[in-house]
Amino acid sequence: MGLISPCRSIKDKLGRTIFLRPYEEGDFKGLTKMYGEFEPKGKAMGLPPAQEENRHQWMMGIVEEWFNIVAILESRIVGHAALDRPVTGNAREFMIFVHQDYQNKGIGQALTSSMLDTAKVMDCERVWVVVENLNRIAITVFKKTGFSFASVPDIERLMVAHP
């Protein structure tokens, strides 16, 4: 997908400058490094895949088929968010991962807000994400950025935003 979301920077909770920008082809090595170091692998509905070959194939599909934004600190990718291309209608699935060393710093909220801004530019009517019910950090971020629950409590919950 082409450039939709502009580059921007934020200050994280530690005062560091984090750059948010659309994924570029040259970012794959940095994304591979981030997901290779990400722990715990496979915790979020099996993602990111624990096995390196499966993780590589999953990442290839995401960067080739989805719109992607990366969060960068001093040339290191520390976060990644993506929106899929809808199969039918105008609803898009959202996914986000922030490296464990950079969580709870405001990066996830900034990535989520940027992706919802992008969805609005794309005239997307609805963005949805499935989150584990015990993932309180993600649920808090999603609520702060405009998502609300669209399913009954279970192990996983559907959350929806209308950009």
DSSP for 70-114, written as a single string: EEEETTEEEEEEEEPPPSSTTEEEEEEEE-GGGTTSSHHHHHHHH
| Overall average pLDDT of the 82-100 stretch | 89
Residue that has been written with the tokens 């040339």 in this structure = 75
Which value, in Å, is the radius of gyration of the alpha carbons in the chain? 15
Q: Locate the domains of the chain by residue range.
A: 8-161
| pLDDT (mean) for 119-132 | 92
Mean pLDDT value of segment 35-45? 86
CATH topology of domain 8-161: Aminopeptidase (3.40.630)
Question: In the structure encoding, which two tokens stand for residue 57, read together?
Answer: 């194939």
pLDDT of 139 reads 95
- 40 or 162, which is more confident: 162
Residue 5 has pLDDT above 70, yes or no: no
111, two tokens: 């990535």
- The one-letter code for the residue type at 128 is W
Structure confidence at residue 46 as a pLDDT band (50, 70, 90) = confident
Q: For position 158, what pLDDT does the model report?
A: 96
Backbone angles phi, psi at 54, to 5 degrees: -65, -40
What percent of the chain has a predicted confidence (pLDDT) above 70?
95
Q: Which of 87, 95, 86, 90 is nearest to 58 (CA)?
A: 95
Q: What is the pLDDT of residues 101-110, one digit of tens each?
A: 999 999 999 9
Helix (H, G, I), strand (E, B) or coil at 148: strand
For residue 14, the 8-state DSSP code is T
pLDDT band at 1 (very low <50, low <70, confident <90, very high): very low
* Residue 152 binned pLDDT confidence (cut-offs 50, 70, 90): confident
3-state SS, residue 151: coil
pLDDT score at 17: 97
